[in-house]
């Protein structure tokens, strides 16, 4: 009798474990290679074909699409891009076969992600170092690195259109950090790919990098964006109206200017404690001339929060096409906070 009970207990345990594994597997999305990526020139820095992770929608979400562009900084000179080409941010050969879609916007859990859980959800890895804007024809003659971010974006969208996005009813282009800048840059381009009847919006996370006083890190971003656009041949990817009006194309990488020329509704989430903007400001204000990110903050004067308030004030007063509101952070974890800035359209 005891043996029979033990057997049933073991079977139930195995069944429960299988259910958990099955549920978890539903969040693991397999890697997809962009169709004819090499022929289209849609390749990473190392020349490997571009890829994405696609989880098909179902039910009422079958004709709705959420595209998330991965972030991960930029490379703005040959040595940086060569080094990057040997990492997953420059080569698709180093990407995992499966990606966990468990978190936030990509989750298929209706409790975790009630708005988008049954949409077609796509995660686009970042392997070009230019916010999906590079468009040079030949590989770098010195490093053999290729700068093709724009072609990666265009070829990936062509793949998704063929998978049903051409019939989209609702679509959201999103991204974080460098991917969030890409969401701004490509917002109208994305809109133009979809049916005129579709509801299309763009969401940019942690990417409202300011063109501001040099003591707050403005010089770093200005110089980096200028070098990036020259190296990657990115001007063509930027909104033409912006580049025709601004004194330099690189200024169209700054959201405070770029958003003035985006017609599609956009939303922004940005923290006044953003660790990238803060690190640049801290390294400048320390006076040591070192603009590399720091693992520990530099304490500026007796009140380091003063720097945060300066950033917040400059963000609020920046040339911004619509009302900006701020809210208090709900949590502070590892130098990151909840979104504090948003555009209301």
- Tell which residue, 89, 91, 123, has the closest CA to residue 107: 123
Q: 163 pLDDT exceeds 80? A: yes
pLDDT band at 332 (very low <50, low <70, confident <90, very high): very low
Residue in the structure block whose two tokens are 């693992």: 295
pLDDT tens-place string over residues 76-135: 999 999 999 999 999 999 999 999 998 779 999 999 999 999 999 999 999 999 999 999
Q: 217 pLDDT exceeds 60? A: no
| Average confidence score pLDDT of the chain | 80
pLDDT band at 271 (very low <50, low <70, confident <90, very high): low
What pLDDT score was predicted for residue 211? 80
What pLDDT score was predicted for residue 263? 96
- Tell which residue, 247, 252, 250, has the closest CA to residue 231: 250
pLDDT tens-place string over residues 130-151: 999 999 999 999 999 999 999 9
Q: 297 pLDDT exceeds 90? A: no
3-state secondary structure the chain: CHHHHHHHHHHHHHHHHHHHHHHHHCCEEEEEECCCHHHHCCECCCCCECEEEEECCCHHHCCEEEEEECCCCCCCCHHHHHHHCCCCCCCHHHCCCEEECCCHHHCCCCCCCCCCCCCEEEEECCCCCCCCCCCCCCCCCCCCCCCCHHHHHHHHHHHHHHCCHHHCCEEEEEEECHHHHHHHHCHHHHHHHCCCCCEEEEEEECCCCCCCCHHHCHHHHHHHHHHHHHHHCCHHHCCHHHHHHCCCHHHHHCHHHHHHHCCCCEEEEECCCCHHHHHHHHHHHCCCCCCCCCCCCCCCCCCCHHHHHHHHHHHHHCCCCCCEEECCCCCEECCEECCCEEECC
Q: Which domains does the chain have, with CATH numbers?
A: 29-264+276-312 (3.40.50)
Q: Which residue did the predictor score with more confidence, 49 or 15?
A: 49
According to DSSP, the β-strands at 120-124 and 64-69 are: parallel
- Tell which residue, 302, 271, 297, has the closest CA to residue 284: 297
Q: Which residue did the predictor score with more confidence, 220 or 93?
A: 93
pLDDT band at 270 (very low <50, low <70, confident <90, very high): confident
């Amino acid at each position: 009798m005891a043996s029979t009970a033990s057997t049933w207990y073991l079977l139930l345990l195995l069944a429960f474990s299988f259910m958990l594994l099955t549920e978890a597997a539903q969040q693991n999305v397999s890697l997809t290679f962009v169709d004819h990526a090499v022929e289209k020139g849609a390749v990473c820095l190392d020349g490997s074909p571009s890829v994405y992770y696609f989880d098909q929608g179902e039910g009422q979400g079958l004709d709705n699409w959420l595209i998330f562009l991965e972030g991960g900084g930029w490379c703005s000179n040959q040595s940086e891009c060569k080094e990057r080409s040997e990492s997953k941010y420059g080569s698709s050969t180093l990407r995992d076969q499966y990606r966990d879609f468990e978190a936030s916007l990509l989750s298929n859990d209706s409790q975790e992600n009630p708005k988008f859980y049954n949409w077609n959800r796509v995660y686009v890895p970042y392997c070009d170092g230019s916010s999906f804007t590079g468009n040079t024809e030949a590989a770098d003659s010195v490093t053999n690195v290729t700068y093709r971010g724009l072609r990666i974006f265009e070829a990936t969208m062509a793949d998704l259109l063929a998978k049903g996005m051409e019939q989209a009813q609702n679509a959201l282009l999103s991204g974080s950090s460098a991917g969030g800048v890409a969401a701004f840059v490509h917002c109208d381009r994305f809109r133009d790919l979809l049916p005129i009847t579709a509801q299309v919006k763009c969401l940019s996370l942690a990417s409202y990098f300011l063109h501001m006083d040099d003591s707050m890190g403005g010089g770093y971003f200005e110089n980096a964006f200028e070098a990036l656009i020259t190296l990657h041949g990115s001007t063509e990817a930027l909104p033409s109206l912006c580049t025709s009006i601004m004194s330099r194309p690189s200024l169209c990488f700054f959201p405070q200017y770029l958003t003035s020329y985006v017609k599609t509704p956009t939303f922004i989430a940005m923290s006044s404690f953003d660790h990238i903007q803060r690190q640049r400001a801290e390294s400048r204000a320390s006076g040591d001339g070192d603009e590399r990110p720091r693992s520990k903050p530099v304490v500026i004067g007796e009140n380091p929060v003063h720097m945060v308030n300066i950033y917040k004030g400059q963000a609020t007063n920046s040339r911004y096409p619509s009302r900006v509101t701020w809210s208090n952070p709900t949590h502070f974890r590892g130098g990151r906070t909840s979104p504090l800035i948003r555009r209301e359209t």
